[in-house]
Structure 1
């Protein structure tokens, strides 16, 4: 990898170039606003610079969009007063110093009791561990409920795995008969969780996203698009 720079109308555009065995020049901008360019090993540097400069308006427009998003997105800390989501409900974190290490939810207040109240990383780790525990209970129940509804389709009963993922709500491994759900789903309404579970279960019958697949989804949840939209637009708290 090497750092490169071009200028567009007096505006410097710095990017990181990675040489790869690819046919085309590819440009992407990550969540930190860093411009990443990949190109074949034999592509001249001047040609790559010209290509980046030709995409300057697109780059500048997307950099501005990322900056706006980063200014408004929630921070990733866990502290008293922090607003978070749990099962579709907006809650408030209350961190209290105490002898016992525990997390309790009462109404819309999630209380974290710990001897390390000033250790922000320890508090966050404790909160995430609690989320995993709650997610395992809720997801297991929802998996059973959805399976009882769709078992007539001849799909197998899948094992559950939970991971904190960035880009997908769920995945299925047909060979291992396993559905992996995103930990972040525990923040959403139960209907949103059901929508993802149903989606993954139906892949055991139809592996692609063609018309037959969505016909099956519609059969069991006609309003799934509403819940999918809610997942994309709501329940983001930065943690």
Structure 2
């Protein structure tokens, strides 16, 4: 088996449309040139050993628009959301508005949203895990009516398709906001959606209703979703920026 060749990476800079374009170039035992844009925006170019760096620079310039497009896409992605804390004074969102967590003594466990505060009442002090569980169960109880109201707002947009109206279920999910089973017209929604503005909830409900017509995430799906909710990307980004 022949030995492979790889030179030390070198940093290169070009000027494209009056802006610097930086990239890391490495020569390898390969026949073609390869380009990669990483999530941090860095550009990496692998080129066949023995060819001039000037020729590589020309190829980078030819792909400059493609490189910039990918850099802009990565830059537009929301930063990782901060984690929630469950202690007095920590901030939690309810219906898209920030609320400070407040603990109160009472005979029974209860949660209430009052003037910018989420009040957690209990007969004895709550641990962070107990506070999280109490707040989650409260979201579950509030979710049914909120989800039904959202479907009332969204469903008229689907009138032209003569679909069977879906049934909604509250379901805690670790990695998604909702899911849909088209064959049974059943949509499951996370109670954590109660932390977001109603417009974000409407986006998720509409997204899942679109799956009643298109089961996958193909171009046809996104064309439909955009036609029914042109500003859906705004609400998706706001939703994904909520603290986890």
Look up the SS of the partner of 1:151 in the other structure.
helix
Q: TM-score, normalised by structure 1?
A: 0.63
- Could you tell me how far apart the structure 2 residues matched to 1:140 and 1:116 are? 35
2:102 equivalent to 1:74: no
Where do 4+ consecutive residues of structure 1 move more than 6 Å?
Answer: none
Alignment correspondent of 2:142: 134
By how many angstroms is 1:155 displaced? Answer: 2.1
Q: TM-score, normalised by structure 2?
A: 0.62
Alignment correspondent of 2:242: 235
Q: Structure 2: which 5+ runs fail to align?
A: 1-78
By how many angstroms is 1:205 displaced? Answer: 0.9
Distance 1:226 1:73, change over 3 A: closer
Alignment correspondent of 1:176: 184
Q: Structure 1: which 5+ runs fail to align?
A: 1-68
- Could you tell me how far apart the structure 2 residues matched to 1:137 and 1:116 are? 30
* CA displacement, residues 121-169 of structure 1 (integer Å, 9 cap, x when unaligned): 3333221111111122211110122113323222221111122222112
Aligned residues: 166
- Could you tell me how far apart the structure 2 residues matched to 1:230 and 1:141 are? 20
Alignment correspondent of 2:133: 125
Distance 1:167 1:119, change over 3 A: closer
For residues 19-168 of structure 1, the aligned pairs below 5 Å read 73-75=82-84, 77-168=85-176
Larger radius of gyration: 2
Distance 1:94 1:218, change over 3 A: same
- Could you tell me how far apart the structure 2 residues matched to 1:221 and 1:168 are? 20
